[in-house]
Each structure stands twice: as C-alpha cells, then as structure tokens.
C-alpha cells in the first residue's frame, strides 16, 4: 500500500491493456494488493474492463482485486460486473466472483446479489458452492431471508463435506441469537450424523444455544429421538452435562415424551434425584431443588417411563408417589 502513488497506479492501469494475458493478470494482482487506498474511479473502471477479458485468468484476478479493494469498490457497476462473472463458464471465475461479492458486505446485499449467490449454491463445482456459502455469511444477518435460509439448508445436505461445513458456518452466522426453528433442527441433525471432531465449531454453537430452554424446546420429535439414540450409544455425552432441570423443562413445555429418556439419562449422568410428588416434579442436584408443575397425564407417563428406563439405567434415584 505504501507504493500506491499516482505514478505506480498509472503504470499498472496501462499494464491492464497489455497484449500479454500474464501481464494483465499480474497488473490485476498488483492493483488488488494496493488495497483500499487504490480504490479510485480509474482503478475500478480498469478492473471492470478486466472482468470482460478473453482470458479466464485475467477475469479471475480482476475479481480477486475487487475483493481486496473492499467496500470502497461497492458500486452498481462493480456489482453488475461481478454478477456477470458469477455465471462465467470457468468455475474459478465464478468462485472468485462469489468471494468478491461477499467481501463487499452489506452494501452488496441486494435481492439480485442474493439471488445470484443462491443460484451459485447449485453449481456443479464444490468450490463455487463453498464460496457462495461464505459470501452469504458475509452479507450479514440483516440480509437473511427465508429463501436464503432455505438454500443454505439444502447445501447443508450437499454430498461434499466441505460445502456442508461452509453452509453450516453460514447458518450459524445468519441465525445469530434468533434460534430459528428450521436452522436449529437442521444443525442438530447434521451434528448427530457427522464426525463430532470435524464439527467442533458446530458443537460449541449448539452447546451455547441449547443451554437456553427457549432454544431446546424448538427441537422436533424426530430430532430428539435421534439425539436419544446417539446418547444411548454413549455419543455426545457432553450434552448431558447441561442441568437436568432444563431437560425437565423441555419435556413439560413441549409435552413431547421423546424427552423422557433424555431426562433420565441426564439425571443419571449428573447423579441427580427426581421426585414426582402429586402434580409436581422436583429435581435435586448440587444446587437448590427445582420444582415444576405437571398434569396428571404427564405424571402418569413419567412414572411409567421412569419405571421402565430406571431399571435399565441403574444408578439414578426416583421417588414416585
């Protein structure tokens, strides 16, 4: 950036018109490395012209240079040029166009850009799909729409693990603290069927999100059952380290019996005692006892579940009356 003088920029702009494609590509590289200080009208105009170069390497480097110029390069002409590059026949150009659009940030978060990136999520090349996920993540939570979330949820099931990881990171960023029901269920499902070491960042997110009872209760029955199956195989036992009363709360608020075996496993894991007395449930652990009200129907279901699973999972204390 120290070299970003008028003379240097002038020479590099002239090199953009050189007859040798390697020279034009290197000129794009150099202009990009000058950073935001070089983001004037002449440079942007020159790089936009390079986006239409006959050589794909020049177009690719032009996209990357615009990315490095950052938000200062975010005008309608640049966005239009990058959207054209997004449908280039060369996958390398398409991937770099995704990168550049993402780097432009919220200034580029128009319906047209989001639509183009969602189309890129269906690209045949995994690198393009990966970069499209990253770009959508960089556009920010404010740009999130149902269509965007739906596209990323589809990418979450991509056959390529790299795409799944980047879609996962995008959804975590977009979801923020909202606790979207579709995103949360999809992320838990992905975690349960994936290598937990590979998705350590996902576990950190889920651990923080599910610690809040409001998030836990949005899990669907089929996801809760999958979670119980994993726990029965002694997978993801860190999940059981959350306070037992949070699982009891999820059970009572959702009235979903799928939570019952998890309640018992959590009590066992933490050496807690659960007392069902009249129409109340008491959870005794290391802290102050927690009391919950429950219906007669739920009480009877709890008694039945505790009686059955309690025999299977020895070591946890239940008192039923």
Residue 69 lies in a domain: no
Domain span at residue 283 reads 234-321
List the chain pLDDT tens, one digit each, 321 residues: 455 578 889 999 999 999 999 999 999 999 999 888 788 899 999 999 999 999 999 999 999 999 999 888 888 999 999 999 999 999 999 999 999 999 988 888 888 999 999 999 999 999 999 999 999 999 877 678 889 999 999 999 999 989 999 999 999 888 865 668 889 999 888 888 876 555 678 888 888 888 776 788 999 999 999 999 888 887 777 888 888 999 999 999 998 989 988 998 888 888 888 888 888 899 998 789 999 998 888 888 877 777 766 555 554 444 444
Distances (CA, A) of 289 to 161, 201, 210, 269, 274: 44, 33, 21, 17, 10
Residue 266 lies in a domain: yes
**What's the CA gap between 93 and 293, in Å, rounded?**
60
Of residues 87, 88, 81, the one with CA closest to residue 67: 81
pLDDT at position 318 is 47
CA 128 to chain centre: 17
**What's the CA gap between 168 and 62, in Å, rounded?**
29
What pTM does this model have?
0.81
What is the count of structural domains for the chain? 1
pLDDT at position 321 is 47
DSSP of 111-149: HHHHHHHHHHTT-SSHHHHHHHHHHHHHT-GGG--HHHH
Residue 246 lies in a domain: yes
pLDDT at position 106 is 80
Instruction: Give the residue ranges of DSSP H helices in the chain.
Output: 6-15, 21-33, 41-50, 56-69, 76-85, 91-103, 111-120, 126-138, 146-155, 161-175, 181-192, 200-210, 213-216, 221-232, 244-254, 260-269, 296-312
Q: What's the residue count for the chain?
A: 321
Do residues 215 and 205 lie in contact, with contact meaning Cβ atoms separated by under 8 Å? Answer: no
Residue 6 lies in a domain: no
Distances (CA, A) of 319 to 171, 281, 305: 43, 10, 13
**What's the CA gap between 51 and 72, in Å, rounded?**
18
Residue 26 lies in a domain: no
**What's the CA gap between 138 and 193, in Å, rounded?**
27
Place of tokens 């986006």: 51
Place of tokens 């490095």: 68
pLDDT at position 297 is 84
pLDDT digit string, tens, across residues 113-142 = 999 999 999 999 999 999 999 999 998 776
Residue 199 lies in a domain: no
Residue 275 lies in a domain: yes
Residue 285 lies in a domain: yes
Do residues 21 and 55 lie in contact, with contact meaning Cβ atoms separated by under 8 Å? Answer: yes
């Amino acid at each position: 950036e120290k070299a970003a003088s008028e003379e240097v920029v002038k020479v590099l702009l002239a090199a953009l018109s050189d007859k040798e494609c390697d020279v034009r590509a290197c000129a794009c590289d150099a202009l990009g490395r000058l950073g935001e200080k070089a983001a004037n009208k002449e440079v942007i105009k020159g790089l936009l012209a390079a986006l239409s170069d006959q050589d794909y390497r020049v177009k690719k480097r032009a996209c990357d240079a615009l990315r490095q110029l950052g938000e200062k390069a975010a005008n309608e002409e640049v966005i239009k040029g990058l959207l054209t590059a997004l449908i280039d026949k060369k996958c390398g150009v398409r991937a770099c166009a995704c990168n550049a659009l993402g780097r432009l940030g919220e200034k580029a978060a128009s319906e047209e850009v989001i639509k183009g990136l969602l189309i890129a999520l269906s690209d045949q090349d995994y690198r393009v799909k990966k970069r499209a996920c990253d770009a959508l993540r960089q556009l920010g939570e404010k740009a999130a729409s149902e269509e965007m979330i739906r596209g990323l949820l589809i990418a979450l099931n991509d056959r390529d693990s790299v795409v799944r990881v980047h879609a996962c990171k995008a959804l975590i960023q977009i979801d923020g603290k909202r606790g979207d029901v579709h995103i949360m269920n999809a992320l838990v499902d992905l975690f349960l069927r994936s290598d937990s070491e590979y998705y350590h960042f996902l576990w950190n997110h889920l651990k923080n999100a599910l610690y809040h009872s409001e998030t836990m209760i949005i899990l669907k029955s089929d996801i809760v059952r999958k979670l119980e199956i994993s726990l029965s195989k002694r997978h993801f036992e860190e999940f059981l380290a959350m306070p037992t009363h949070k699982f009891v709360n999820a059970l009572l608020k959702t009235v979903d019996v799928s939570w019952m075996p998890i309640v018992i496993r959590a009590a066992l894991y933490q050496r807690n005692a659960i007392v069902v007395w009249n129409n109340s449930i008491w959870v005794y652990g290391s802290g102050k006892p927690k009391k919950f009200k429950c219906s007669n129907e739920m009480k009877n279901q709890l008694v039945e579940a505790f009686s059955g699973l309690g025999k299977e999972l020895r070591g946890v204390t239940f008192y039923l009356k």
